[in-house]
């Protein structure tokens, strides 16, 4: 009986490498959790195109927005574990939503097989020029002198700018008011007009107004300086040690996908993200191309999951 089991096990394991060697044998779908032309779409398109070039199979980018990214996540989590349905995961759907939403259709730590990070982007801490601050330390001091009087905006409860503001409050002990908007353009316009005082804003939305002097840049939210802006400090070094907020994006399959298929996908993604034209394309969209191993990506997601769970719980925020 034992001999029969071992023989069957041997056959099983001999099949898996063959499956990976022949993969892909039909079209692949990359499901993105936000609309066409969103950041996840921008990231997925060059990867899909180069998968097709490398393997000769169509790779479709399928936008399934809704429920803060949970609709797309559920589609992939419940798909067959064969590597033909992938998710362009992101901070919200794969690190924040588990705590933000009362009920989730998937378990982000259990139901996915991480493949690789693909890109990250930090935010810019900007203030209206009339605010009497020139540094992060000045802002902290002003917020402590005027508790509950400073307002910051975001694209809605649970958005990355909202989370950044709550982490800033959590780490500094200041009291500020969160004003949710329907999108980045709206809160940037209100910041420029002086209706709100500060924002953690995307590079794309804030940079043009920094150049014209309508916004004052204090720091970036990443924990290391940007070589393109070497004179701009990080929030961490400017007064809040350990502060690090980046939106991240990465490719995942459903849990149970054979390791050989995950490794094949990872090797191709790493190759694609090292291409100068892909790096430039991402940079032009305010993104940094980043790759890592499946094990590293898994550990990264877990750290982000735990970090944002603490912030969401401490703030009491819930999904809109």
Residue with tokens 């730590």: 109
What's the pLDDT score for residue 296?
98
What's the pLDDT score for residue 204?
86
pLDDT tens for the 320 residues of the chain, in order: 333 333 344 444 444 455 567 899 999 999 999 998 889 999 999 999 999 999 999 999 999 999 989 999 999 999 999 999 999 999 999 999 999 998 999 999 999 999 999 999 999 999 999 999 999 999 999 999 999 999 999 988 888 899 999 999 999 999 999 999 887 788 999 999 999 999 999 888 899 999 999 999 999 999 999 888 899 999 999 999 999 999 999 999 999 999 999 999 999 999 999 999 999 999 999 899 999 999 999 999 999 999 999 999 988 888 75
Q: Are the beta carbons of 156 and 191 closer than 8 angstroms? A: no
What's the pLDDT score for residue 62?
98
What's the pLDDT score for residue 24?
97
Domains of the chain, with CATH numbers?
Answer: 27-120+246-315 (3.40.190.150), 122-220 (3.40.190.10)
CA distance 215 to 191: 8
Positive or negative CA dihedral for 193, 154, 245, 313?
Answer: positive
What's the pLDDT score for residue 320?
58
What's the pLDDT score for residue 262?
98
Q: 182: which 2 tokens? A: 């329907």
What is the per-residue DSSP string for the chain?
-HHHHHHHHHHHHHHHHHHHHH--SS-EEEEESS-TTSHHHHHHHHHHHHHHHHHSS-EEEEE---GGGHHHHHHHHTS-SSSSEEEEEEHIIIIIHHHHSSS-SS-TTTSEEEEEEEEEEEEEEEE-TTSS-SSHHHHHHHHHHSTTT-EEEESSTTSHHHHHHHHHHHHH----EEEE-SSHHHHHHHHHHTSS-EEEEEHHHHHHHHHTTSSEEEEESSSS--TTSTTSPBTTTTT-TT---EEEEEEEEETT--HHHHHHHHHHHHHHHTSHHHHHHHHHTT-EE----HHHHHHHHHHHHHHHHHHHHHHT----
Sequence-distant (6+) residues with CB within 8 A of 19 are 258, 260, 261
The radius of gyration of the chain's CA atoms, rounded to the nearest angstrom, is 21
Residue with tokens 């305010």: 286
Max Cα separation, the chain? 81
């Amino acid at each position: 009986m034992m001999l029969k089991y071992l023989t069957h096990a041997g056959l099983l394991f001999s099949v898996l490498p063959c499956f990976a060697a022949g993969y892909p044998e039909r079209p692949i779908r990359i499901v993105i959790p936000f609309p066409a032309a969103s950041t996840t779409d921008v990231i997925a398109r060059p990867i899909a195109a180069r998968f097709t070039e490398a393997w000769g199979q169509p790779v479709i980018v399928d936008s399934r927005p809704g429920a803060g990214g949970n609709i797309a996540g559920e589609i992939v989590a419940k798909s067959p574990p064969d590597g033909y349905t992938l998710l362009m995961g992101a901070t919200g759907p794969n690190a924040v939503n588990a705590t933000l939403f009362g009920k989730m259709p998937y378990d982000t730590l259990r139901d996915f097989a991480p493949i690789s990070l693909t890109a990250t982007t930090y935010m810019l801490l900007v203030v209206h020029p009339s605010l009497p601050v020139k540094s992060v330390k000045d802002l902290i001091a002003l917020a402590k002198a005027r508790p509950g009087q400073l307002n910051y905006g975001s694209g809605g409860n649970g958005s990355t700018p909202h989370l950044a503001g709550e982490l800033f409050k959590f780490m500094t002990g200041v009291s500020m008011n969160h004003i949710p908007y329907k999108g980045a353009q709206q809160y940037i316009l209100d910041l420029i007009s002086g209706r709100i005082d500060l924002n953690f804003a995307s590079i794309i939305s804030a940079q043009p107004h920094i150049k014209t002097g309508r916004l004052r840049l204090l720091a970036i939210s990443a924990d290391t300086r940007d070589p393109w802006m070497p004179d701009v400090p990080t929030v961490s070094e400017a007064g809040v040690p350990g502060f690090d907020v980046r939106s991240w994006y990465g490719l995942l399959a459903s849990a149970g996908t054979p390791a050989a298929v995950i490794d094949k996908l990872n090797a191709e993604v790493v190759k694609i993200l090292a291409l100068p034209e892909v790096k430039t394309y991402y940079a032009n969209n305010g993104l940094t191309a980043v790759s890592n191993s499946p094990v590293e990506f898994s550990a990264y997601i877990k750290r982000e999951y735990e970090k944002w769970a603490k912030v969401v719980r401490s703030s009491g925020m819930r999904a809109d």
